[in-house]
Structure 1
Amino acid sequence: MTALTEIPETPEVPGAPAPVAAAPSGRAALVLRRFLRDRSALAGAVVLLLLFVLAFAGPYLTPWSYDHIDYGALRAAPGPAHWWGTNRIGQDVFAQTVHGLQKSLIIGLLVAVLATGLASLVGACAGYFGGWTDRVLMFLVDLLLVFPSFLIIAIVSPRLRFGGWVAFVGLLAVFAWMITARVVRSMTRSLKEQPFVRAARYMGVGPFRVIWRHVLPNVASFLIIDATIQVGGAVMSETALSYFGFGVQPPDVSLGTLIADGTGAAITYPWMFFFAAGLLVVFVLAVNLVGDGLRDALDPTSKGGRR
């Protein structure tokens, strides 16, 4: 009988630390590492953070309220009393700008969340169920795409002034989800034929659970990128509509109303125009940088941080 050869045990070294199994890094950690390696995306995120801090902490940094009038300083240049000067009726430009930035950011975030959420729900249901569900939902999408959204919002928004800016958010969100829904529908139609989705169906998993657990996570990268773009687009839409008097209504202010009020004085009193316009440009650029960084970080084939 052949004797079994014993494998000698590795002697323990006194004082040596015990070996620890390496913890597997999750997808969130991988995405975060890719994002942090992208310098332009990281710069955009820092700028966005600073803008949010300015918008929500700025009103507490100045003794002036956005609607307070200083009759002794009409169109005053920037100085110690009014950091960014005053407008034509003596309102502090810094207080008005940070309040307008705050309102525009809130509107942009709410519109992005509502529009992206609605697009993901409608697109996933249309692509997964198919048949009459797909036909009805896509008919609704095509119908809304035919309507001139800017004109409809301009006509309807003055009649919803009792609802304030919340009703305005709803109007912007209603006309901002259709193209995204079509893309999600196409992605869902290809995903539902994948083996893991078919296996879930054969195991008796309900359709909405399949959509929630298997479909939406696989289109999450597109939805996140779309949401970042929606924020910038919603702020631009709000600014344009408010510029023409169809958005945020006085005495409230937004970046659009401030830009509209300061346009005529952009040459003679530039502080009334360029602070609000500059913050709008910086915000849109930062959102685009963050969106590009998220796209690279969430794309499995991307080598994040190559820029």
Structure 2
Amino acid sequence: MRSKVVLRRVIAKPQVIFGLAGVILLLVLAYLGPLVSPYGFEDKDFTAFRTPPGADHWWGTTQIGQDVFAVTLRAMQKSILIGFLVALISTGVAAVVGAFAGYFGGWLDKALMWGADLLLVLPSFLIIAVLSPRLKGATWLWFVVLLAAFSWMITSRVVRSMTLSLREREYVLAARYMGISDWKIIFRHIVPNLSSLLIIDATMNVSGAIIGETALSYFGFGVQPPDVSLGTLISAAGGSEAISYPWLFLFPAGLLILLVLCINLIGDGLRDALDPGSHS
């Protein structure tokens, strides 16, 4: 019954519908667009350097003759994948750390929250910038791990405070008296009752991770060549390039803005739909 009520609330939010439609269209463009493109991501046209959009190259070409349409879609694929993986990892870590800290309390609570507080005060951008050059040549998944490592702390504190209340509920006390293990209580009773918060947090973390990846890649600390992301394309087309050859900048920057905007619309709508306090 509650799921039906929540679904009706979600559907009633136009921003969720618009955001979801936008994300689906961008996913279709990113993953099906290359199938209809006459050029691949690694193809080079040595007769067309920095040519504007036209019949042969729909979004123009780069300084080395790559098709901007193919390269931009490849970059958006990587940015989307990084965003979803970072959100999945960071929200999962926040749920586990916060639930364990709130449920068990004592020294475990103090140790976990001390670790969260320590990571909160560390300059995450600087640390990732220092570690990224040492990981050159390694898989880009290390970059995902670094981004996720600095994205879970605030949510874990919220989860902890909610767990402190949930652990005193009747159904949790009944499960404890029945001899059910603490692990099962946490993952069957505590975490599922935090699903609304975690869904909203994961959604917002996707856009946050995409922006973080773009910023780091813009400064050369993120995705490394020959791979590309929206951040690396925006960086390569920055400065005078954006004025002289605007298509090199406008297409990746435009897709980035649309992607983040649509995800934020979904997050805002879900927050309104799943938060009982937002309804009279």
TM-score by length of 2: 0.96
Q: Cα RMSD (Å) of the superposition? A: 1.4
Q: Counterpart in 2 of 1:286?
A: 262
Q: Counterpart in 1 of 2:94?
A: 119
Q: CA-to-partner distance for each residue in 1:151-194, whole Å, 9 max, x for gaps? A: 11011112112322111111111111111111111111111122
- SS in structure 2 opposite 1:266? helix
Which stretches in structure 1 are left out of the alignment for 5+ residues? 1-25
Q: CA deviation at 1:29?
A: 3.0
The answer on 1:41 being equivalent to 2:8 is no
- SS in structure 2 opposite 1:81? coil
Q: Which amino acid aligns with 1:285?
A: L
Give yes or no for contact 1:67–1:251 (8 Å, CA) kept in 2.
no
Alignment partner for residue 275 of structure 1, among 251, 263, 267? 251
Q: Distance in 1 between matches of 2:237 and 2:2?
A: 47
The answer on 1:74 being equivalent to 2:49 is yes
- SS in structure 1 opposite 2:157? helix
Q: CA deviation at 1:302?
A: 4.6
Q: Distance in 2 between matches of 1:146 and 1:269?
A: 41
The answer on 1:165 being equivalent to 2:162 is no
Q: Distance in 2 between matches of 1:62 and 1:27?
A: 45
Q: CA deviation at 1:231?
A: 0.3
Alignment partner for residue 232 of structure 2, among 250, 257, 260? 257
Alignment partner for residue 214 of structure 2, among 224, 239, 242? 239
Q: Counterpart in 1 of 2:223?
A: 248
User: Which of the two has greater helix per residue?
Assistant: 2
Q: Counterpart in 1 of 2:72?
A: 97
Give yes or no for contact 1:34–1:303 (8 Å, CA) kept in 2.
no
Q: Once structures 1 and 2 are overlaid, which stretch shifts more, 150-159 or 201-210?
A: 201-210
- SS in structure 1 opposite 2:243? coil
Q: Distance in 2 between matches of 1:301 and 1:202?
A: 32
Which stretches in structure 2 are left out of the alignment for 5+ residues? none
Q: Once structures 1 and 2 are overlaid, which stretch shifts more, 191-200 or 177-186?
A: 191-200
Alignment partner for residue 4 of structure 2, among 23, 26, 29? 29
For residues 189-208 of structure 1, what are the structure 2 equivalents within 5 Å? 189-208=164-183
Q: Which amino acid aligns with 1:266?
A: A
Q: Distance in 1 between matches of 2:5 and 2:136?
A: 46
Q: Once structures 1 and 2 are overlaid, which stretch shifts more, 119-128 or 62-71?
A: 62-71
Q: Distance in 1 between matches of 2:235 and 2:276?
A: 44
Q: Counterpart in 2 of 1:180?
A: 155
Q: Aligned residues, how many?
A: 279
Q: Which amino acid aligns with 2:179?
A: G
Q: CA deviation at 1:89?
A: 1.7
Give yes or no for contact 1:126–1:133 (8 Å, CA) kept in 2.
yes
Q: Counterpart in 2 of 1:6?
A: none
Q: Which amino acid aligns with 2:275?
A: D
Alignment partner for residue 215 of structure 1, among 190, 209, 216? 190
